[in-house]
Amino acid sequence: MKEQIQVTLPDGSQRSFPAGITPLEIAAALSASLAKKVLVARIDGVVRDAFTPLYNDVTLHLLTWDDPEGKAAFWHSSAHLMAEALEALYPGIKFGYGPPIDHGFYYDVDPGDRRISEADLEAIEKKMAELAAQDNRYIRRDIAKAEALDFFEKKGDPYKVETIRELNDGEISFYQQGNFIDLCRGPHIPSTGLIKAIKLTNIAGAYWKGDEKNKQLTRIYGITFPKQKELDEYLQMLELARQRDHRKLGRELGIFTFDDDVGPGLPLWLPNGGVLIEQLELLAKQTEEQAGYVRVRTPHIAKESMYLTSGHLPYYQDSMFPPMELEGGRYYLKAMNCPHHHKIYAAEPRSYRDLPLRIAEYGTVYRYEQSGELFGLMRVRCMNMNDAHIYCTEEQFADEFRAVNDMYLRYFKIFGIEKYVMRFSTHDPAKRGQKYLDLPELWAKTEGMVRRVLQDSNIPYVEVPDEAAFYGPKVDVQIWSVIGREFTLATNQVDFGQPLRFGLTYTNRNNEPQTPIVIHRAPLGTHERFIGFLIEHYAGSFPLWLAPVQVAVLPIADRHLDYANNLMGRLRQERLRARLMGSDEKIGKRIRTAETAKIPYMLVVGDKETSEGTVSVRRHGQGDLGPFSIEQLTRRLREEIAEVLG
Task: State the nearest-atom distance from the C-beta of 299 to a copy of itself, in Å.
Answer: 4
Contact status, residue 427 vs residue 447, Cβ threshold 8 Å: yes
Q: What is the DSSP string of 179-234?
A: TEEEE------SBGGG--EEEEEEEEEEEGGG-TTSPEEEEEEEEEESSHHHHHHH
Separation CA 255–CA 598 (nearest Å): 12
Considering the rule CB under 8 A, would residue 297 count as an interface residue with a copy of itself?
Answer: yes
Task: State the nearest-atom distance from the C-beta of 374 to a copy of itself, in Å.
Answer: 12
Q: Among residues 90, 316, 331, 352, which is the contact residue for a copy of itself, using CB under 8 A?
A: 331
Taking the least distance from each CB to a copy of itself, the nearer of 211 and 327 is: 327
Taking the least distance from each CB to a copy of itself, the nearer of 57 and 369 is: 369
Separation CA 522–CA 514 (nearest Å): 26
Site string for a copy of itself, 341-380 (x = CB under 8 A): --xx--xx----x-----x-x--x-x-x--x---------
Considering the rule CB under 8 A, would residue 384 count as an interface residue with a copy of itself?
Answer: yes
Considering the rule CB under 8 A, would residue 333 count as an interface residue with a copy of itself?
Answer: yes
Contact status, residue 606 vs residue 560, Cβ threshold 8 Å: yes
**Burial track 89-121 (b if 16+ CB lie within 10 A, e otherwise):** bbeebbbbbbebeeebbbbbbbbeeeebeeebb
- 551-610 residues in contact with a copy of itself (CB under 8 A) are 572, 583
Task: State the nearest-atom distance from the C-beta of 602 to a copy of itself, in Å.
Answer: 20
Q: Among residues 3, 171, 212, 327, which is the contact residue for a copy of itself, using CB under 8 A?
A: 327
Specify the stretch interacting with a copy of itself by CB under 8 A; choose among 45-53, 129-137, 238-246, 333-341.
333-341
Q: Where are the alpha helices (DSSP H) in 457-560?
A: 497-501, 527-537
Contact status, residue 384 vs residue 527, Cβ threshold 8 Å: yes
Neighbour count for residue 179 (Cβ, 10 Å): 10
Site string for a copy of itself, 527-556 (x = CB under 8 A): x-----------------------------
The whole-angstrom distance between residue 326's C-alpha and the CA centroid of its chain comes to 37
Specify the stretch interacting with a copy of itself by CB under 8 A; choose among 75-83, 296-304, 456-464, 492-500.
296-304
Taking the least distance from each CB to a copy of itself, the nearer of 147 and 304 is: 304
Considering the rule CB under 8 A, would residue 250 count as an interface residue with a copy of itself?
Answer: no
Strands (E), 50-179: 58-63, 94-95, 100-101, 104-110, 139-142, 173-177
Q: Among residues 40, 73, 132, 277, which is the contact residue for a copy of itself, using CB under 8 A?
A: 277
Size of the site for a copy of itself (CB under 8 A): 60
Q: What is the DSSP string of 480-495?
A: E-TT--EEEEEEEEEE
Q: Among residues 13, 16, 290, 611, which is the contact residue for a copy of itself, using CB under 8 A?
A: 290
Closest CA to 300 of 261, 345, 332: 332
Considering the rule CB under 8 A, would residue 6 count as an interface residue with a copy of itself?
Answer: no
4 burial (CB, 10 Å; 0-12 / 13-18 / 19+) is exposed
Interacting residues toward a copy of itself by CB under 8 A: 254, 257, 259-263, 266-271, 273-275, 277-278, 285, 290, 294-303, 305-306, 309, 321-327, 331, 333, 339-340, 343-344, 347-348, 353, 359, 361, 364, 366, 368, 371, 382, 384, 527, 572, 583
